[in-house]
Amino acid sequence: MKVIKNCKIFHHDKGLSNFNQDIIYDEHKILKIKNSSNEIYENLEQKDAEGRIVFPGLIDIHVHFREPGQIDKEDISSGSNAAARGGFTTVVMMPNTYPALDSVEEIEAISEKIINSKINIFVSPCISKGREGKELVEFEKIIERFENIVFGFSDDGDFFDNQNLLAKALNILGKNFPIMQHPELLNSHNYNGAINEGKLSSKFNLIGRPISAELNAVKSNLNILKNNSGWIHFQHLSTMDAIKEIKAFKSNNSKVTSEVTPHHLFFDEEELFEKLDSQLKVNPPIRTIDDKNYCLKSLKEGIVNVIASDHAPHNHEDKNKEFEDCMSGISWLENAFGFVSKKEDYKFSVGKMSYLPGKIFEKCFDKKIGIVQEGYASDFFIANDHDWTLNKENLYSKSKNYIFKTDKQGEIKLHGEPIMTICSGKEIYNNGEIK
356-390 pLDDT tens trace = 999 999 888 888 999 999 999 999 999 999 999 99
Is 379 part of any domain?
A: no
Whether 96 shows a pLDDT value over 90: the answer reads: yes
Is 96 part of any domain?
A: yes
How many angstroms separate the CA atoms of 375 and 371, rounded? 10
CATH of the domain at 189: 3.20.20.140
Total domains in the fold of the chain:
1
How far is the CA of 111 from the CAs of 104, 121, 125, 146, 159, in angstroms?
10, 10, 12, 9, 26
How many angstroms separate the CA atoms of 222 and 317, rounded? 39
Is 62 part of any domain?
A: yes
Is 104 part of any domain?
A: yes
For residues 2 and 44, is the Cβ–Cβ distance under 8 A?
Answer: yes
* Residue 404 banded pLDDT, cuts 50, 70, 90: very high
Whether 98 shows a pLDDT value over 90: the answer reads: yes
7-52 tens-digit pLDDT: 999 999 999 999 999 999 999 999 999 999 988 898 999 999 999 9
256-265 tens-digit pLDDT: 999 999 999 9
Whether 252 shows a pLDDT value over 80: the answer reads: no
Note if 310 is an active site residue: yes
User: Mean pLDDT across the stretch 344-362?
Assistant: 97
* Residue 40: predicted pLDDT: 87
Is 387 part of any domain?
A: no
417-429 tens-digit pLDDT: 999 999 999 999 9
Lowest mean pLDDT among 75-84, 174-183, 245-254: 245-254
Burial 348-376 (b: 16+ CB within 10 A, else e): bbbbbbbbbbbbbbeebbebbbbbbeeeb
101-119 tens-digit pLDDT: 999 999 999 999 999 999 9
* Residue 411: predicted pLDDT: 96
* Residue 261: predicted pLDDT: 98
* Residue 251: predicted pLDDT: 81
Whether 405 shows a pLDDT value over 90: the answer reads: yes
* Residue 369: predicted pLDDT: 97
User: Mean pLDDT across the stretch 351-360?
Assistant: 97
* Residue 337: predicted pLDDT: 98
| Residue of 22, 75, 161, 310 with catalytic role | 310
Q: Give the mean pLDDT of the chain.
A: 96
189-240 tens-digit pLDDT: 898 898 999 999 999 999 999 999 999 999 999 999 999 999 999 999 999 9
Q: Would residue 92 be called left, alpha or beta, if left means φ above 0 and alpha means ψ between -120 and 50 degrees?
A: beta
The domain in which residue 66 lies consists of 56-365
* Residue 311: predicted pLDDT: 98
Is 327 part of any domain?
A: yes
- pLDDT above 70: percentage of residues in the chain: 100
* Residue 403: predicted pLDDT: 97
* Residue 5: predicted pLDDT: 97
* Residue 72: predicted pLDDT: 97
Give residue 368's Cα distance to chain centre.
Answer: 18
* Residue 44: predicted pLDDT: 95
116-151 tens-digit pLDDT: 999 999 999 999 999 999 999 999 999 999 999 999
Is 370 part of any domain?
A: no
For residues 397 and 79, is the Cβ–Cβ distance under 8 A?
Answer: yes
Is 3 part of any domain?
A: no
pTM of the prediction? Answer: 0.98
Whether 253 shows a pLDDT value over 80: the answer reads: no
Picking from 17, 141, 122, the residue whose alpha carbon sits closest to that of residue 60 is 122
* Residue 77: predicted pLDDT: 98
